Amino acid sequence: MVKIVAVYVVGAFLIFGMCVSARAGIQIGGENGPLLHGFAEAALGVKLSDDTTKSDSFNYGEQRVQLKTLYRPDKGVLADWYGVVDAKADLFLDEYFGGKTGIDVRSLNLALSPREWLDCKIGRQVFTWGTGDYLFINDLFPKDYISFYIGRDDEYLKKPSDGLKCSLYAAQINADIVVIPFFTPNTVFDGDRLSFFDPFQAGIAGIESDRRLVEQPAQVENTEVAARIYRTLGSYEAAVYLFRGFYKNPVGYLDESRRELYYPRLNSVGASLRGPGLGGIVHAETGYYQSVEDTSGKNRLIQNSQLKAMAGYSKDLGNDWSAGGQYLIEQTLDYGRLQDALAPGDYVWDEVRHLCTLRLTKLFKQQTVRATLFLFYSPSDRDTYWRPSLSYDISDSLHWTSGANLAWGEEATTEFGQAQRNKNIYTRLRYSF
């Protein structure tokens, strides 16, 4: 633990030292060359409970430098098509895994506008849509829940994918079409850094878990396709969503004897509406998940089809206060058939799950200090997850954030109940340039 604190302190000094000369950005390639920006960050997350993960003292300790640039050619076809090259990568040193170093390419893509009605972006990028605040129904693109639960910046919740996005614009309606040829799953708890409920261990497991997650191979027939068709209706934006691909969580058993889980095929259709109402902003979203490999609901080894619906409301309360709340309901279809198919010792969840969220935000000191509480609570699962945080803009370049991840639950099988041993408090110091 002493070593980790020392690394954090040294990292904080390194942030100041390496970024002084980069205060206004680094110009590369002359007047028309790309401008390099980014940040350097040191972070530490201390655990509040013992566990069987790799460390009982901390679950987050890293140094990270992000570099990003946009490049616009001034000659050639790319210039004629308003081409833009977007590149962003993180270099990190992860003390949790003994000083592991690596590069995380967050984006590397080419954006083109060959026609007035068409924009295209190809390469590594983050895909996202939908109306929820930390809740996702029709946003079926990959997420990183380990980053979310240890205290990394919200940017890291959404994982990048390699693919193509085309946006089409018409007088009355617009559309986004996404094609992802290489399957990217959610980053879920694996027992090394965060413990989780492992049915093969019949309880919460850490490093003793030996389950295997088998991803879909890179084949043409495994290409994922998503679409959003949207338009404005007065002051509201309405959208319809379509998806053909795979579940992003391993909700299928490939081989029970070998403890292998996989990502079954998924089709979905949904809709959303967002706009002013009740003196604030209201939103609603719904979706139908078709479990393609278990349409009858009789296969106990594969997730059943589901219906999901969500409603939310947010409002500026004045005096630098704001609040927002959401209500989500999820219903497992063909639930009776699933119960009939269960084997002795199988774990089963409720047919209907209810989830509420609350976000409270208060700004202080000329809006340079932000205090936030985000709360998840499920009355059906009887579990909860609290995310308090406090951030301070020390200067235009220097930013400090501290917070906590606090989960509780009556049952280890629920979403937040399985995370109850992963509680931590964290702090991050970032210098942007």
pLDDT at 34: 60
Backbone phi, psi, residue 344, to 5°: -55, 135
Q: Where are the alpha helices (DSSP H) in 274-341?
A: 335-341
Q: Which one-letter amino acid corresponds to residue 110?
A: L
Report which of 269, 216, 217, 287 is spatially closest to residue 246, judged by C-alpha positions. 216
Phi-psi region of 72 (alpha: psi -120 to 50; beta: other; left: phi over 0): beta
List of domains in the chain:
114-432 (2.40.160)
**CB-CB contact of 214 with 254 (8 Å):** yes
Model confidence pLDDT, tens digit, residues 399-424: 999 999 999 999 999 999 999 999 99
Contacts of 31 (CB under 8 A, 6+ apart): none
Report which of 244, 262, 241, 243 is spatially closest to residue 252, judged by C-alpha positions. 262
Which structure tokens are listed for 285?
């979203």
CB atoms within 10 A of CB 98: 7
For 81-89, which contacts have Cβ atoms below 8 Å and span 24 or more sequence positions?
Answer: 81/112, 81/113, 81/114, 82/112, 82/113, 83/110, 83/111, 83/112, 84/110, 84/111, 85/34, 85/109, 85/110, 85/111, 86/110, 86/111, 86/123, 86/125, 88/38
CB atoms within 10 A of CB 223: 15
Model confidence pLDDT, tens digit, residues 163-188: 999 999 999 999 999 999 999 999 99
User: CA 383, CA 388: separation in Å to the nearest integer?
Assistant: 17
Contacts of 155 (CB under 8 A, 6+ apart): none
CB atoms within 10 A of CB 32: 10
pLDDT at 33: 54
How long is the chain?
433
Taking only the tens of pLDDT, the chain with its 433 residues reads 444 444 444 344 444 444 443 443 444 444 445 689 999 999 999 999 888 999 989 999 999 999 999 999 888 878 888 899 999 999 999 999 999 999 999 999 999 999 999 999 999 999 999 999 999 999 999 999 999 999 999 999 999 999 999 999 999 999 999 999 999 999 999 999 999 999 999 999 999 999 999 999 999 999 999 999 999 999 999 999 999 999 999 999 999 999 999 999 999 999 999 999 999 999 999 999 999 999 999 999 999 999 999 999 999 999 999 999 999 999 999 999 999 999 988 988 899 999 999 999 999 999 999 999 999 999 999 999 999 999 999 999 999 999 999 999 999 999 999 999 999 999 999 999 9
pLDDT at 78: 83
